Amino acid sequence: MTQLISKKNLRLDGRKLDELRPIKLTVGVLKNADGSAYIEWGRNKIMAGVYGPKECHPKHMALPDRALLKCRYHMAPFSVDDRKPPQPSRREIELSKIIREALSPAIVLEDFPRTAIEVYVEVLQSDGSSRIASITAASAALADAGIPMRDLVVGCAVGKVQDKIVADVSDTEDKEGQVDLPVAFMPNLNLITLLQSDGALTKDEFEKAFKLALEKGRYVYEIVRDALLEGFVGRKNEKEGN
C-alpha cells in the first residue's frame, strides 16, 4: 500500500492534514451560455455552463408548478490518464443526479413553472473530489445567469486516510484511503444538500470530519464570493478591449 501520510503528518502533495488544494474560480467565461464558471481545484479543471430558464423540451417533461432542473456531469475523454469513453458511464449518471439534487433546494424553481433550467458540467481534467468542485462551479454559474437562488451551494470533501481525518481528498487518497465524505451545503442557511460517504467512520470520527468539511466549505464560499464580485464589478472593461 502506498504511504499516503508521512511521519511529519504531510500528505503526498505536501499538504497538511487540514489543508485544501489551491482553488481558482472565474465566472462569466462563456459568452454563449446564460451563465458560466470555470474552476481549477488542485488538478481538477471543470467548466460549468447554465442555460435558462428556457422553454422545456421535450414538452411532456415540463412540470406545471415549477421549473425542471436538468444537470449533466460529463467527463471529457482526456480528463483521466486512461482514455474515458465519451458516452455517459454509470458514475456520470449518478453524479448528474447528485449534482441536481444538491442544487435544486437552492434554486427558486417555483418562480418559473413549465420551463427548464439546464446545467452542464464538463470535467476537462479530473483529480478527486470533482463532484464538490462541480457543484461549487455550477452554483456560481447559476448565480452568474441571474437565476434566483436562496443561497449559493459550496462544499468540501473530507476523508479518512491512514486512520487520520483529512480535508479535500485527492484522487490517490480517494482510491487508496479509507473514507471519502463529500459534503455540500448552503452556508447562509446552514442546510446540507449533499452528504455521501463511502467507507465507515466511527461516531467521533464522523463528527470531526463533518465539522472540518463545514469549516473548509466556508473557506470555499469566500473564494466563490470573491469570484462573483470580480466577475460582476470587474466586467466593466471587457467590451472596451474588443
Partner 1 sequence: MAKVLRKFVLPGDLIVKGNYPPAPNTYQMDDGLHSLKVGLSEIEGRNVRVIPLAGRYVPRPDDLVVGVVIDLNAFAWSVDINSFFPAFLTATDVFGKRYSPESEDLSSKFDIGDVIIARVAAYDRSKDPMLTVAGPKLGRVNGGYLMKISPVKVPRLIGRRGSMSKMIEEATGTRITIGQNGIIVINGEPSRIPLAVKAIEMVETQAHLAGLSVSVQNFLSKETGRVVRKPQEGPPQSDDFNSGESE
Residue indicated by cell numbers 484522487 = 171
Total residues interacting with partner 1, rule: CB under 8 A = 39
CB of 136 to partner 1, least distance (A): 13
When asked if residue 46 is in the footprint of partner 1 (CB under 8 A), the reply is: no
When asked if residue 49 is in the footprint of partner 1 (CB under 8 A), the reply is: no
Angle between helices 130-144 and 203-233 (to 10 degrees): 30
CB of 216 to partner 1, least distance (A): 18
Nearer to partner 1, 12 or 192 (CB): 192
Nearer to partner 1, 169 or 186 (CB): 186
What's the rounded Cα separation, in Å, for the pair 33 and 186? 24
The region of 68-76, 86-94, 155-163, 228-236 touching partner 1 under the rule CB under 8 A is 228-236
When asked if residue 148 is in the footprint of partner 1 (CB under 8 A), the reply is: yes
Nearer to partner 1, 75 or 224 (CB): 224
CB of 115 to partner 1, least distance (A): 5
- What part of residues 162-221 is at the interface with partner 1 (CB under 8 A)? 186-189
CB of 65 to partner 1, least distance (A): 9
* Contacting residues toward partner 1, per CB under 8 A: 34-35, 52-55, 64, 106, 108, 111-115, 143-152, 186-189, 225, 228-229, 232-233, 235-240
